[in-house]
Chain A
Amino acid sequence: MKRRLDVLVCSGAACASAHSQDVRDELRRQIASHGLDEEVHVIETGCMGPCEMGPIVLVYPEGVFYVRLTPADVAEIVEEHFLKGRQVDRLLWESPEARRLAQKKRQLPFFEGQQKIVLSNCGRIDPENLEEYIAADGYAALAKVLSEMKPDAVVASIESSGLRGRGGAGFPTGKKWQFVAQEQGEEKAIVCNGDEGDPGAFMDRSLLEGDPHAILEGMAIAAYAVGADHGYIYVRAEYPLAIQRLEIAVAQAREAGLLGLNILETGFSFDVELRIGAGAFVCGEETALLESIEGKRGMPRPRPPYPSASGAFNLPTLINNVETWGNIRHIVLHGPEWFRSVGTEKSPGTKVFALSGNVCNTGLVEVPMGTTLRQLIFDIGGGIPGDKAFKAVQTGGPSGGCIPAKHLDTPIDYESLKELGTIMGSGGVIVMDEDSCMVNIAKFFLDFSCEESCGKCVPCRIGVDQMRKILERITQGQGHPDDLGRLHELADVIKATSLCGLGQAAPNPVLSTLQHFEDEYRAHVEDKVCPAMVCRELISYEIDTATCKACDQCRKVCPVDAISGEPGKPPYALNAETCIRCGQCQVVCPFDAIHKTSRQPVAD
């Protein structure tokens, strides 16, 4: 019998860590044991998006979307759905924002507001199968430029598309291409920046895992356009699946004559090498990345010279981020006007975001530029779990900032985010609910920047650490009245004098929280109170004597024996002196009898 069902198993890193491979193996076993191998095909794909729901299986042609599967669920799916045509309702996604139980993928609100261009193959094709990529118009854009377009026409096309760098700052991609194309010289290099290091960001990883050929194709098109013959893909070692899929893709492309000498027998040659990074955040900065590619310690170089003039091994070098590369083939195939028809005037196209934090549907999403934060977080993300209130959203990682609720209707583009004191960044979006302390969040990002500072320049190495120390003091209730002014002063100097973009942007998490949540800073400094009850030095725990049932759970879990009492004889008592305010008792209490209260900090 002919092939009639395609069973797509998401094998992105999130589903893989939820053991999607066991589900896949069980599917293959059950399908074989029912003799359905020929008519039902199991295909592994890249990330489908709703990572919270993994392992995910999508069955075509119906488009039935099964979530949170275990191998034990597989037999029922095969017998009921594949054999008898009755989908298994209990395994569908009960998406609360859907008006009814969504039978099909396209009925899910999570997918409704999205427009997948860069991710169009992610979760749809098998990333390890070159034929599937070709079937989805893969390498058609490369074939088009090699057979029909002059190199400068390709550059002009990218330039007029208005595409801007998806790695952070939003520099016009076509301009970069133009700079490198103008450079004289026999040898030039192409670089893919896959050193994704922001906390909560996984866009590049997912794209490399889900559609590696698209990146190779984008790079090959650029190589033809600017006159380069070799390239480097820089990926961090902590992305083993992305590296594995890239290696497979490179080998396949070479074998098929889509990389290497005389590509598609047109006389054009281009090949790539993988460079595996050790995971230093600073290597995402383009000049530090170039140092690392050359085998040196990853530290930024002063600019100028810019990489377009002197980059990898002093060659004119074109560096773009993974997602930027992912856009290229679509622009070539459909034209710059089409690309401009998506998104906003100054920020055309779509943007991929990694939604995480206090949001119902964490995962990978792609929306047109100009989508509002509210649509992203509430319509697609499903809002805040547990009836909590939205407090802020963090974008741009350690170089970005926090946006409060009153700006939720801001359309997302490079300019409007900048106006709010943050940046687009690479696309990490961390949603925070009412239980988040904004001073603590700012401190978290400064901790990160201190840890990751390469140490080459003083403002970043010492200045950021000074800011961090002030924040630490504030969160411990030891803040001085002039601390806020001092933070501003330090931030100004660091921004003005740091060598690279990471140092210059490191104060942003503090500045943006100071801008939007100054009251919260003042509460910490002046009243010694943490309004969100997060900062440990400013809270204490209490047992509500009326609700305590003396179940003994809190006493058992307390690591410092601060709770005393006898089972069955309420109430229990909590010794505030010994308590380290770890909060475990509150987590385990089945009767909600343990509460946080504010307390004055104990002076050193």
Chain B
Amino acid sequence: MKLEDLRKIRERASKDLNLRKGNARVQIVVGMGTSGIAAGARDVLAAFLDEIAKRGLTDVVVTQTGGRGLASSEPVVEIHVQEKPIVVYGNVDRERAARIVAEHVVNGQAIDDFVIEVREP
């Protein structure tokens, strides 16, 4: 192994350790109650993970939560940005997930059309 190889391994492997930092800038919370899963929340969760990996974002984590009683709007996704109100999106699908990452997570602009609730953390 050369110095250069060590650096390469570190760059590649440190992405896997990001999950364990516990201090992400943005947390994407996908509602995964029974109704959420039935409405395709697992696919949405996967879409967020794909999008984050594609963009190489290291300060964003995706977690899940149970249903919050918004069955008609499932899949429901919350975006927690540090020190900002929590924005809740309804009827999220793969396409909306990609837009949420691009516009809200990366550029900080919530997409008003899909927002169903804004609340204080």
Q: Is A241 in the interface zone, CB < 8 Å from B?
A: no
Q: Is B45 in the interface zone, CB < 8 Å from A?
A: yes
| B3–A266 touching, CB < 8 Å | yes
| A264–B6 touching, CB < 8 Å | yes
Which positions 255-288 of chain A face chain B at CB distance < 8 Å?
256-258, 264-266
Q: Is A86 in the interface zone, CB < 8 Å from B?
A: yes
Specify the main secondary structure of chain B where it touches its partner: helix
| A8–B1 touching, CB < 8 Å | no
| B19–A3 touching, CB < 8 Å | yes
| A131–B45 touching, CB < 8 Å | no
Residues of B within 8 A of A576 (CB): none
Q: How many A-B residue pairs have CB under 8 A?
A: 100
Q: A1-42, CB under 8 A of B: which get 1 and which 0?
A: 111111010000000000000000000000000000001000
| B49–A4 touching, CB < 8 Å | yes
CB A470 to nearest CB in B, in angstroms, measures 54
| A61–B19 touching, CB < 8 Å | yes
How many residues of chain B are within 8 Å of chain A by beta carbon?
36
| B63–A134 touching, CB < 8 Å | no
Question: Once bound together, how far apart are the Cα atoms of A125 and B14, in whole Å?
Answer: 11
Q: With A61-B24, A256-B1 as known contacts, state yes or no: A85 contacts B32, CB within 8 Å.
A: yes
- Other-chain residue from A5, A84, A256 in contact with B37 (beta carbon distance below 8 A): A84
Q: Is A83 in the interface zone, CB < 8 Å from B?
A: yes
CB A333 to nearest CB in B, in angstroms, measures 12
Specify the main secondary structure of chain A where it touches its partner: loop
| Chain A, Cβ-Cβ closest to B34 | A84
| B22–A85 touching, CB < 8 Å | no
Q: With A84-B64, A134-B13, A135-B16 as known contacts, state yes or no: A257 contacts B1, CB within 8 Å.
A: yes
How many of chain A's residues touch chain B, expressed as a range? 35 or more
Provide a sorted-by-A list of 28 A–B residue pairs whose CB atoms are within 8 angstroms.
A1-B42, A3-B16, A4-B19, A6-B19, A61-B19, A61-B24, A61-B63, A62-B63, A84-B64, A84-B66, A85-B30, A85-B65, A86-B66, A106-B22, A124-B17, A131-B9, A132-B13, A132-B16, A134-B6, A134-B9, A135-B9, A137-B10, A138-B10, A257-B1, A264-B2, A264-B6, A265-B1, A265-B2
Residues of chain B having any CB pair with chain A under 8 Å: 1-3, 6-7, 9-10, 13-14, 16-17, 19-22, 24, 27, 30-34, 37, 42, 45-46, 49-50, 52-53, 61-66
Instruction: Please give 13 more A-B residue pairs, beta carbons under 8 A apart, in addition to A1-B49, A4-B62, A61-B22.
Output: A3-B19, A4-B45, A6-B19, A60-B19, A61-B19, A61-B24, A61-B63, A85-B64, A135-B17, A136-B17, A256-B1, A265-B1, A266-B3
